[in-house]
Structure 1
């Protein structure tokens, strides 16, 4: 019995996003019934294939579900499907992506009968807006979302991963939506009707660079494979054996990196202290340090880097992940049964310790559940029979209180999402050590100009929160934190695993203060990992996930997709995990500890190859910008400087329309080119023909013409382009927020909506210590004299301490 075993979920339509959303429910015991046509979900035929010819992608998305065939042409098909949905708690609907011959049913009528039904409807772009009717694929959506153009060689074409990214991201967002409604039901709410935009879901990876583009202008360009604005070195480098992921950000890390390699001349060069300055000299410094890296193996450098606290990590092959005993022990790699075929796949990364997810499972055979009859269950106590929302304007997490110790991107995105959904999030910083997204410069001029209040990226990650300062190294600050935690529902941190325990705020202490408290640690490798002490950034997590080994062309180095891919992914997985634990806490009064390893959160993106390889499938092939199923498929140059468009033909009909659209009726009429296999034989010729056409057009013009013909195409956007994207503008996705120090600035909305519009942003990000009085005095009841003393002793405050004064404070603390 899993924590969600009281829930029955029906999944209809064919969409990787909705399939993954439903699988997350199955991971925790929900009864997930997958409705398929007689020929099966089209995803059952998608590559890569296992040794026995089954879809590894489908297997990953669907284990632990059951399969029910509903033939749209059979008598009473709509009646049967309606009965299934009327008997479920959650409907996950992917028909707007691919209807998969799903029979018609009247959802509005079902919801009148079952007002407590939670319904999630996914689509590529939402049902309204300029892109709403677009044909799409994973890659065309990522191109439009700004996730392709900055990756790859300077001269192009941009290098992008194969499919399997947007479905993971959107599936997480869909789960967050549906699970938050399940939390609301435990508090007396009714059902929820959610819409999910796969395109907008993907912008979780782009919003940081969008904020930087707003702040700094049009400064981002593709600067080479495994190279990224604004700092360096951040990339993948060859060693004596294996590849090494390197992320050097701070001056201290740069000095340690140079010392490790014996490069004192680089370490002491004043022009190389900051990452943005190193980027200007990257060619020169790489010529010096890359030969040194070839003197040892990746594993040897990893061990040396751990000693020196440098964020470096070996870049594994898929075979390395399958042999990783720790990942199997932690449940990141789990057994999966595909009929008679045994394999391994990626398990749940939401590691709840009291109510853990299932460890592996079985892929449903087509129609295996046909003999099971639908029976109306006793719904008393499930919340499903609720007559409807008590307050239509009430957000699902209102009344939930969160204490947020996190910094940077991953943790703050998790808690921001909770706040966006209505939770009261109290962010705790210290004037000695504020959130590093405010900037790491502690020079006097930076502090005096209050530059730490002017970072747009901080404001985006911390909206809708209240902020206080507390010095947890001091007894008074620690005592106040404990008083807040005693009243809270959730506490989140993404520090190194020992930081809060060393303050006396480990889960063993907090559960005695507050038995219903859900505590989540979001470390890089996990609290019980052999590598628990390793430093990491979002780029480190991608480098260590296995994903780079399947991106790029055969024979080339592994290729990174994004500068900090792992941060947003970790934040969304953390939010999903917290909601599951919160449902359990609402049911039982029991809190628990959640051990998120952010590197494991990246592994679902490599899951299809992990699954296929585990069965002894044919050797993995790297396709570059091509595709194992769709031909043609690639990124093509357009008129103008560095302009590109992603184009894909997903089936025979789309190939025919593409050929006519680009003025090649001879191709459309050629019967020998009907099959994907035949077109693959002349792929070079086809690509030259497509680019001859795209080169004569502006990318938006090319996209408009191809989409008018029903061909999947998407312009490769830069992050700055998204600030004026016509589709996002039509959907009011970017909300204008006013904040002290920076004025009006755009903020991305949630990609999940309960109505035609996303929830409005209630409050700008807090200035440092903005809510000290409101929370410490108003909520905890401290007197004016007590507050004044805390200020005098610098336990609280509203201004960052400069470097010189910080040293004085450290001496004072050590003498206390």
Structure 2
């Protein structure tokens, strides 16, 4: 719904200086400015280079970039910092070696760079695609034979910007001075964590299975219908049976060859030969309506025009008008829908130097600071979430020092402990052996409560009285039925901050839609602008929406807590996870609005970085290369020994190179084909060319940059043994990563510590709860759940 103009802006008390360049820096600043902070953007005399990024719009006095405008809504532009005596936050996007120049003193300083302030990659040139290649994101996408398919745009930088915002927002809560550094590279490793964890035991995850095919499940992709394209994701056996029933093939759903996703993927050609013709019998919209009724995780895959016109998104103000000079275009609004203090829906971006010499508003008085080893020490969060998105949100809060209590039920443990219904899975406690769960739930305590029982619900309410925040991603109707929705929990703790994470938001006709991270990518329209022009709309990642939703949820919680610190007010957050994907699609949304077209699908090529591509190396390796400007082109020619190309005046500009891009791709491929990917990367980087070896996720533990920075922390846990945990992508400047303080909990491991210690339940009461099945430490087999419930 439209924003109430009387609603306060939660970060209005903050002053932020933004210095340097890049999308990650600008997006971190946007999160502050659109929530009301005074963000002062220091630009060089010629303006931020992003002002020249296409598409360009006429402003009345010249041209400016629509992308720049969207990234810089509600900020002030200055070309000198005189008159700014102090600030709350300095966001510094300059290269680490260039940060010596004086800046105004700040309570919290964050250096934001591609690879952090240390390590062998510290001074590497990078582009969005080379960074994501090194982070393990693109290796598994594209044709079996390659090359890997590289999503263009700003996806990696947006992830880095959210990580920077989260680190700074957390540091502002205690208010004591901190100097932070943020690695965009490390932030993007979160997107590849699923494959990194599961690939250790399931090598099929680390293979390219073809366009719109991903292990460990099938089908997962985009398929043609009579009209439009349908995004399909099937994971559980029950979903596969429901899908087969829907397309009129119930016997296939009962075939024992197709019970689990890996088995279906091995028979993908046979299955697609069956269901692809049947999907063509109806429109994508008709199939989606049917999927809503059957609660299957499907989505219509829109193009940009259809995305902008979608009534569900329009009703939620998912897009707002961005103005710069006389120009107005539409772009995504921030997805953090704080119900009491929502962000601005759009706004005006500044002209270069527009605010030079203008007096700034006074800063409100500062709250007393609290010194702590970790920023969120003393904060307690109740985690009612499962899977990837919600647990990643709470993991980020836990990494920053919050006490996170994860609540599961013995009858329904977190589904990332496994969804195998077979008895041996439970008898052998396989649910304690899934590394994916271990990676997402470190630094948390774990308890069990059967919330469907009055005793369990009452204990959760008691926990909430002692908590600051609750994170949940149940289906919309679950918590109200249990008497545990936001109004009920806020009655226990009036200043509670609570985030709910439905796929399409808590209101509207799609509020009950089921979704996985891939469903969210499909519904965002991102596949429609990805891949080669002759491909179907192309899924870019196994479950892009999950990590993106989790990081955005953490940003929402922290914003609400900063508002509570100033006012004492809590609130509910309605986070539509699909809207969290829209900033990744922003370049094409803005182009659609500005020009009437998102532009051509370029595959691995780029509109202004020419050439750009993914090239073969020895040993089945690949390397991503982006030539950012004419100087980098000269460097590339030197590195590959092609002085003739450097001397050709027709190739001196990006436009000239674009006309002969196929020829240039062949020349680069001829050079890379005889070299190891890391050796080729080193040679190109020495010449100033952005290049990144394409890492498989499990290979990230050997990446020299991550190893040098201590990114992987060894942890010991029962049933899993020793394993490596990825660190948070932010740290205190000049120090190692924030520590992994404890491994993920075993099921119900902390029942006594939390229910007995925090709530003070005596041992006899804990024993009675265990005897009644309200708490416990062993998962109840699927075959026993209904009969167990019937006997209670």
> Where do residues 153-552 of structure 1 align in structure 2 (5 Å cutoff)?
153-185=143-175, 190-217=176-203, 220-373=206-359, 377=362, 380-382=365-367, 390-391=371-372, 394-552=373-531
Residue of structure 1 in register with 2:4 after alignment: none
Contact 1:6 1:382 in 2 (8 A): no
Contact 1:13 1:98 in 2 (8 A): no
Contact 2:495 2:571 in 1 (8 A): yes
Contact 1:426 1:466 in 2 (8 A): yes
Contact 1:51 1:618 in 2 (8 A): no
- Superposition deviation, residue 608 in structure 1: 1.5
Question: Within 1, Cα distance between the matches of 2:74 and 2:96?
Answer: 23
Question: Within 1, Cα distance between the matches of 2:731 and 2:378?
Answer: 20
Q: Are the structure 2 counterparts of residues 605 and 585 from structure 1 closer, same or farther at C-alpha, using a change threshold of 3 Å?
A: same
- Superposition deviation, residue 126 in structure 1: 1.3
- Superposition deviation, residue 365 in structure 1: 1.1
> Where do residues 38-53 of structure 1 align in structure 2 (5 Å cutoff)?
38-50=45-57
Question: Within 2, Cα distance between the matches of 1:695 and 1:765?
Answer: 43
- Provide the secondary structure at the position in 2 that maps to 1:535: coil
- Superposition deviation, residue 7 in structure 1: 0.4
- Provide the secondary structure at the position in 2 that maps to 1:222: coil
- Provide the secondary structure at the position in 1 that maps to 2:191: coil
Question: Within 2, Cα distance between the matches of 1:267 and 1:442?
Answer: 16
Residue of structure 2 in register with 1:127 after alignment: 117
Which consecutive residues of structure 2, in runs of 5 or more, have no partner in the other structure? 1-7
> Where do residues 55-204 of structure 1 align in structure 2 (5 Å cutoff)?
55-70=65-80, 80=81, 83-84=83-84, 86-96=85-95, 105-106=101-102, 111=105, 117-185=107-175, 190-204=176-190
Question: Within 2, Cα distance between the matches of 1:378 and 1:226?
Answer: 51
CA deviations 1:703-728 (Å, max 9, x no partner) are: 11111111111111111111211111
More displaced stretch, 413-422 vs 209-218:
209-218
- Provide the secondary structure at the position in 2 that maps to 1:693: helix
Which consecutive residues of structure 1, in runs of 5 or more, have no partner in the other structure? 71-79
- Superposition deviation, residue 329 in structure 1: 2.2
- Superposition deviation, residue 507 in structure 1: 1.2
Question: Within 2, Cα distance between the matches of 1:217 and 1:150?
Answer: 12
- Superposition deviation, residue 805 in structure 1: 2.2
Question: Within 1, Cα distance between the matches of 2:445 and 2:480?
Answer: 24
Which of residues 517, 534, 546 is equivalent to 1:567? 546
Question: Within 2, Cα distance between the matches of 1:478 and 1:9?
Answer: 42
Which of residues 616, 634, 649 is equivalent to 1:637? 616
Residue of structure 2 in register with 1:75 after alignment: none
- Superposition deviation, residue 97 in structure 1: 7.8
Contact 2:23 2:157 in 1 (8 A): yes
Question: Within 2, Cα distance between the matches of 1:601 and 1:98?
Answer: 33
Which of residues 676, 684, 692 is equivalent to 1:714? 692
Q: Are the structure 2 counterparts of residues 51 and 146 from structure 1 closer, same or farther at C-alpha, using a change threshold of 3 Å?
A: farther
1:670 counterpart = 2:655: no
Residue of structure 2 in register with 1:620 after alignment: 599
1:760 counterpart = 2:739: yes
- Provide the secondary structure at the position in 1 that maps to 2:199: helix
- Superposition deviation, residue 640 in structure 1: 2.7
Contact 1:51 1:615 in 2 (8 A): no
Question: Within 2, Cα distance between the matches of 1:51 and 1:564?
Answer: 38
- Superposition deviation, residue 325 in structure 1: 2.6
Question: Within 2, Cα distance between the matches of 1:192 and 1:216?
Answer: 41
* TM-score calculated relative to the size of structure 1: 0.94
Question: Within 1, Cα distance between the matches of 2:725 and 2:58?
Answer: 46
1:693 counterpart = 2:700: no
Contact 2:624 2:691 in 1 (8 A): yes
Contact 1:51 1:616 in 2 (8 A): no
CA deviations 1:457-485 (Å, max 9, x no partner) are: 10111111111100011111111111111
Q: Are the structure 2 counterparts of residues 214 and 442 from structure 1 closer, same or farther at C-alpha, using a change threshold of 3 Å?
A: same
CA deviations 1:603-633 (Å, max 9, x no partner) are: 1111121112112345521111110001111
Question: Within 2, Cα distance between the matches of 1:98 and 1:315?
Answer: 44
Residue of structure 1 in register with 2:788 after alignment: 809
Which of residues 4, 9, 13 is equivalent to 2:11? 4
- Superposition deviation, residue 216 in structure 1: 3.5
- Superposition deviation, residue 50 in structure 1: 4.2
Question: Within 1, Cα distance between the matches of 2:596 and 2:290?
Answer: 36
Q: Are the structure 2 counterparts of residues 740 and 157 from structure 1 closer, same or farther at C-alpha, using a change threshold of 3 Å?
A: same
Q: How many residues align?
A: 781
1:18 counterpart = 2:18: no
Contact 2:66 2:329 in 1 (8 A): no
More displaced stretch, 568-577 vs 140-149:
140-149
Question: Within 1, Cα distance between the matches of 2:57 and 2:521?
Answer: 24
Question: Within 2, Cα distance between the matches of 1:704 and 1:633?
Answer: 17
* TM-score calculated relative to the size of structure 2: 0.96
Residue of structure 2 in register with 1:76 after alignment: none
Q: Are the structure 2 counterparts of residues 582 and 694 from structure 1 closer, same or farther at C-alpha, using a change threshold of 3 Å?
A: same
Contact 1:749 1:759 in 2 (8 A): yes
Question: Within 2, Cα distance between the matches of 1:415 and 1:51?
Answer: 43
More displaced stretch, 611-620 vs 659-668:
611-620
